[in-house]
Structure 1
Amino acid sequence: MNLIFKKLHALVIFAASSSLVRKAARLIFKLAPRTDIAVRSPEGILYADSPDRLLAALLWKKTMPSSLEYSVYARFIRPGMTVLDIGANIGFFTLLFSRLAGETGRVIAFEPDPDNFRLLRKTLDANNRKNVECEQKAVSEGDGAEKLFLSEEHRGDHRIFDSGDDRKSININTISVDGKLGPQGRADFIKMDIQGAEFRALAGMERTIRNSPGLTMLCEFSPALLKKAGAGPGAFLEKLLSYGFTMKYLDEETCSVKEASPEELTALCAGEKYLNLLLERT
């Protein structure tokens, strides 16, 4: 996420910590008409059907093309590459990945929420993106069934664990990256933003990582969410290091990529803070 997105997200999470605010937001969302609205962005048409997704699409249109995160994708993704969008939501980055990978490339977008997935498919169809394959599943350590705990006020904050804040849940299916790509499967770039489930997803892509010496990843790191999901932030970072990744992060404040140790990264994410890790194989 870029700086404006991160500040908006932090504001929403802070507000959502109040049960009164959550109830008010849910009431507003229920009363708001659910109509698909097309937002024209530099990458094409995005569809949104709720106040929070519409606001996110408008912010993406205005701010993302000039962001550090956007420039990182443009730097690393090339025509012909295989790109995984893990936590695709309504397709904010899927459109960008599709363009960068080109006709000879392959993009696989994973999004478990039925409403977000429908909008993702509609967005891709509207832009005639033929190099994208969509999976309506959550990426985890293996194939199976899970509950997805929904955030009615912020549809980018669904989780596959119960965080104890009175969320409704739906049944979804899970898939592993290794299972999807097969024994010889390789990937060139992986973007992963799945609200604390990153450690479980990592466990299901070990073979793919071994098969992909040139792999680059951009992964959200939220110690608070990892802990809520039952994973240790330190163990998560050490696992990434064991695969031979260098550890850097995106500093949106200074618009630069910086190296940091696991201890420094954890300290930067005190409380509910989070950041994007840039992981390259050495």
Structure 2
Amino acid sequence: MFEYFKRRSARRKARRHFQEYPHVIDTFELADEGKISFANWENPLIKPKVITQEEVNFFKKFITKGSFCIDIGTNIGDTTVPMALAAGKEGTTLGFDPNPHVYKILEINVSLNKDKTNIIPLPYAITKEDGEFSYASSEASFGNGGISNEVVEDHGSFKLANKIQGIRLQDYLKRNHATLLPKLSFIKVDVEGADMEVIISISDLISKYHPALVAECFPKTTLKERAELFRTVSDLGYELYYFSDFLDNAEIVKIENPKDMTKWRHFNFYAVPVKE
């Protein structure tokens, strides 16, 4: 009982008062990849990450060894690392997150498992146009947050002292990673309600290289916005599927039409090119 109240008090403090939190390195033994290390952030509001073979196998359905994949909204790297394990050391995984408090933990995770992964961390938001943006969170610990968009105008009263840098991803990739683009196999988007904005901003990239996509349907999205998200992805020549978790045995349901986007309040979906 004492531990319960102690944890509750720590969570309350993290929501209201900023402080720096350390990290701890945890180790996991996977059947295929062997020993994997992961830096968990000891922020009381962040559930510790467990790396499993089932999660890596989920990403292997879409990411081939040696391919190029992109994680937009990495947080501390909880999906970035399994994605990078699927791509392997011979592949390349870019991880984007502008939040400096999670980014410092992401950088630690990038430094681990170098014999099995190749991750490039980048401290940018993906936006319609290059520029500087205000970043806010509902939590003083900045475990999550975002910039204003059509879905969420205000992410909370806790704001970063300095503005964050937003970049047009298509332009950035053409300048810095043009040789990798033909190997693009997978893009994950999780940006606190701005997923459709990001997908629209990279639509030319998607149309040309046809990577598999994973995105989030944010709980605050309206019925109209959910329908628009469905049409935006579908019009790019993709089929959408709800999945219950990032596990290879997750429940999967095909999203047949815009109305199906209302079946779940908050969910992730993956999208794959329609087979001709």
Matched residue, 1:115: 101
Q: Secondary structure at the match of 2:134?
A: strand
Structure 1: which amino acid aligns with 2:171? G
More helix by share: 1
* Residue among 236, 253, 276 paired with 2:268: 276
* Offset of residue 80 of structure 1: 1.2
Structure 1: which amino acid aligns with 2:250? C
* Residue among 21, 38, 41 paired with 1:48: 41
Matched residue, 1:203: 200
Residues of 2 paired with 1:103 and 1:136: CA distance? 22
* Residue among 113, 121, 133 paired with 2:120: 133
Count residues with an aligned counterpart.
246
Matched residue, 1:18: none
Kindly report the root-mean-square deviation, in angstroms, between the aligned alpha carbons of the 2 structures.
2.9
Structure 2: which amino acid aligns with 1:204? S
Residues of 2 paired with 1:217 and 1:264: CA distance? 20
Matched residue, 2:236: 243
CA shift in 2, pair 1:251/1:125, >3 Å = closer
Asked if the contact 2:43/2:141 (under 8 Å) is kept, the reply is no
* Offset of residue 165 of structure 1: 4.0
Which runs of no fewer than 5 residues in structure 1 stay unpaired? 1-14, 16-20
Deviations 1:62-104 (A, max 9, x none): xx6276x654212221111111011111111222122211122
Asked if the contact 1:221/1:275 (under 8 Å) is kept, the reply is yes
Residues of 1 paired with 2:109 and 2:53: CA distance? 22
Identity over the aligned pairs, expressed in percent? 20
Structure 1: which amino acid aligns with 2:97? E
Deviations 1:117-162 (A, max 9, x none): 1111112113326621111011122321111112326745312124
- TM-score under structure 2 length normalisation: 0.78
Residues of 1 paired with 2:75 and 2:90: CA distance? 24
Residues of 2 paired with 1:25 and 1:52: CA distance? 7
Q: Secondary structure at the match of 1:218?
A: strand
Structure 1: which amino acid aligns with 2:212? T
Matches for 1:1-282 after TM superposition, within 5 Å: 24-27=13-16, 30=19, 34-42=21-29, 43-53=36-46, 56-57=47-48, 60-61=49-50, 65=52, 70-128=56-114, 131-152=118-139, 155-161=142-148, 162-163=153-154, 165-169=156-160, 170-182=162-174, 185-186=181-182, 187-213=184-210, 215-222=211-218, 224=220, 226=221, 232-252=225-245, 255-269=250-264, 273-282=265-274
Deviations 1:209-257 (A, max 9, x none): 12213x1011111251x45xxx8222121111110010111035x9321
Residues of 2 paired with 1:93 and 1:250: CA distance? 15
Which runs of no fewer than 5 residues in structure 2 stay unpaired? 1-7, 30-35
Residues of 1 paired with 2:244 and 2:200: CA distance? 27
Matched residue, 2:3: none
Asked if the contact 1:139/1:174 (under 8 Å) is kept, the reply is yes
